[in-house]
Chains A and B, each alone.
Chain A
């Protein structure tokens, strides 16, 4: 088995999941080198892991599911759908709008394997700087292994996938679905966005502040209303959203949905 790549600061690390305690240099190059081998291995392993650790992996996916869908009928949301992610090149689904950074990583040879995914999940922007995936990272190697084992069950030929679960729904936040139907004016959104981009960069996530470009309209509107209604707690965002009208939120959603990557 290959050692998982990690993105730890010292660049050297061994993990339990590797089964061996052999330090390995981290980073893209090492991940690429070890990656190809593990695709095949994973296909074998995942079938067993799928059942054993499934409950735990599924529970851990709660941390991903406000952005990603996986399973029968999975669609792209804030992040791309994750069926068949093992073995595919990073940033390679034609109908999802990735960051420049993710596309470049894929073009540069990054393929999703147990090892590369382990590195990505432990610290996404360390492996792919300026990726738009705003996820602080999953610190525990055991958790990552359990999650990846479960996720592996959605890759490869299977006919009995459980149905995909939705990302944020208006019901979850007590939001009148009619609010989602408001059509936003992107030009007004572009003006309002001036306030946002003092904190949110347009070219992906930087430490401490999430990326908000390219989101589906619904997810964006729901997130801002969640802050506005105090269902999601964060003093800055509650203040920012607190003074936005329903139309203004729709306008911002429209603007950031279309916005291209730029610094």
Chain B
């Protein structure tokens, strides 16, 4: 232990030496391999929770020593986080939209609004839909999710207006909200919930809470039906307790024991067929099974699971050390697919990329996540955990979850924390 006025301060070099000895597997700790000629180039594909954070941290902390290009088709990013609160009437739509201007202005990031459509790993270049290509020394992929074709028989992307998923935020979210508001009195909203693993484990159930909140006021005799292929779901005890208290008798969930895993939909007639039995509904929110955003498969970094395996210490792809995969698309171990997780992984990745390209300091990685959910007005709950990198995976070390029976003050404080978090994380991505 060193003293503030003592002679031998514990300095960073000393710290690094011990850290390196303890974790020899940290590849970025070894001397930077071949440094590119001139300014090293990083291309980040996907400007969401993982990609925007990674681009911002690489650019900000390298102070111009690394050339950073962010490829993202949308000019406005609508966060999936808090999109359920918009559906519930707790947020304005505009308040969940963010633009990329500050990333260019404040950090010199070259923001290219286009789709990445091909990756040439040998030439280290990314092909763009609009023509042209971008060369990279390191590529960061954070493309989020895509849906698995055929996972809900009867549904495909061409039906997303009849039966919205609203699992990528934006016009889909607005459409779903409009459909809920247009339901006839006493009508039925049905959600076809996804199988594991999927983005934001509590997301579908927070959405149910918000839909119930809207219906309770505008359409109190309406019913909510959840068709769920899973035995259990995230924060189940907390949600079910909240639904009992706020929306008694409104919500019914059909799990796998009653055919929740044998579902088919008929978009033309708005019917849901569970275990052979058809039910007519008024809104059908289909959240299909998921996999890594398509560009990860195009890059050849996904495995048979559909996700991209990564080295926990650096978020490098196990298939290609010049590519890092972040967020929902990564197969990393214990972290849930959340915006918080993607942001946390992005900072570890940014540090590893800077270490590899310009030899800046690399510290032992650490990860964390907290997911808040709103069940009713001022009734917030949370679940969170911290994680460390092992050779095999990102492994959970500690965690907590809200409890049933907490006081109204605590639930309100928990909700208010989520407001503070939203302001902070979106600033951490886009400012």
Contacts and interface: CB of A to CB of B under 8 A. Distances in A.
A187 interface: yes
A174 B397 CA distance: 26
Contacts of A201: 420, 423-424, 427
A197 B60 CA distance: 15
A240 B418 CA distance: 16
A198 B420 CA distance: 10
B198 interface: no
Interface string B397-412: 1111010000000000
Contacts of B15: 185, 188, 247
A236 B419 contact: no
A32 interface: no
B417 A208 contact: yes
A-B pairs, top 6 by smallest CB distance, nearest first, are A209-B420, A208-B416, A208-B420, A235-B400, A263-B431, A194-B347
Contacts of A236: 370, 382, 384, 400, 417
Interface string A196-212: 01111101001111000
A199 B343 CA distance: 11
Given A183-B2, A209-B417, A243-B397, A199 B424 contact: yes
B419 A207 contact: yes
Interface string B351-370: 10000000001010010101
Contacts of A240: 368, 386
Contacts of A191: 351, 361, 363
Given A182-B4, A208-B416, A243 B386 contact: yes
A124 to B, nearest CB: 14
A31 B15 CA distance: 52
B1 interface: yes
B291 interface: no
B57 interface: yes
A183 B3 contact: yes
Contact of B4 (A183, A209, A242, A247): A183
Interface stretch (B5-13, B72-80, B235-243, B307-315): B5-13
Given A183-B9, A188-B12, A207-B416, A239 B399 contact: yes
A18 to B, nearest CB: 29
Interface in A223-247: 235-236, 238-240, 242-243, 246-247
Nearest to A176: B1
Interface of A: 178, 181-183, 185, 187-188, 191-192, 194-195, 197-201, 203, 206-209, 235-236, 238-240, 242-243, 246-247, 262-263
B420 to A, nearest CB: 3
Contacts of A178: 1, 3
Nearest to B415: A208
Contact of A243 (B6, B398, B402): B398
Given A200-B424, A243-B366, A182 B1 contact: yes
A185 to B, nearest CB: 5
B425 A239 contact: no
B385 interface: yes
B109 to A, nearest CB: 16
A239 B427 contact: no
B209 interface: no
Contact of B12 (A185, A194, A246, A262): A185
B344 A195 contact: yes
A132 to B, nearest CB: 13
B10 A199 contact: no
B417 A194 contact: no
Contacts of B428: 197-198
Nearest to B347: A194
A263 B4 contact: no
Contacts of B9: 183
B368 A187 contact: no
A208 B419 contact: yes
A178 B4 CA distance: 10
11 contacts: A183-B10, A191-B361, A194-B344, A198-B424, A198-B428, A199-B425, A207-B416, A235-B402, A236-B370, A239-B368, A239-B386
A198 B421 contact: yes
B413 interface: yes
Contacts of A197: 424, 428
A9 B169 CA distance: 31
B155 interface: no
A207 B420 contact: yes
Given A187-B12, A243-B386, A198 B340 contact: yes
Contact of A198 (B12, B344, B397): B344
A246 B10 CA distance: 12
Contact of B421 (A182, A208, A242, A262): A208
Given A207-B420, A208-B420, A209-B421, A195 B366 contact: yes
Given A194-B347, A198-B343, A209-B421, 9 more contacts: A182-B3, A188-B363, A199-B417, A199-B420, A206-B423, A208-B418, A236-B417, A239-B400, A240-B386
Contacts of A235: 382, 384, 400, 402
B413 A208 contact: yes
B142 to A, nearest CB: 16
Contacts of B386: 239-240, 242-243
A65 B274 CA distance: 61
A259 to B, nearest CB: 14
A195 B428 CA distance: 11
A242 B368 CA distance: 12
Nearest to B364: A191
A191 to B, nearest CB: 5
A181 B428 CA distance: 32
A16 to B, nearest CB: 25
A188 B385 CA distance: 22
Nearest to B417: A208
A242 B398 contact: yes
A246 B1 contact: yes
Contacts of A188: 12, 15, 363
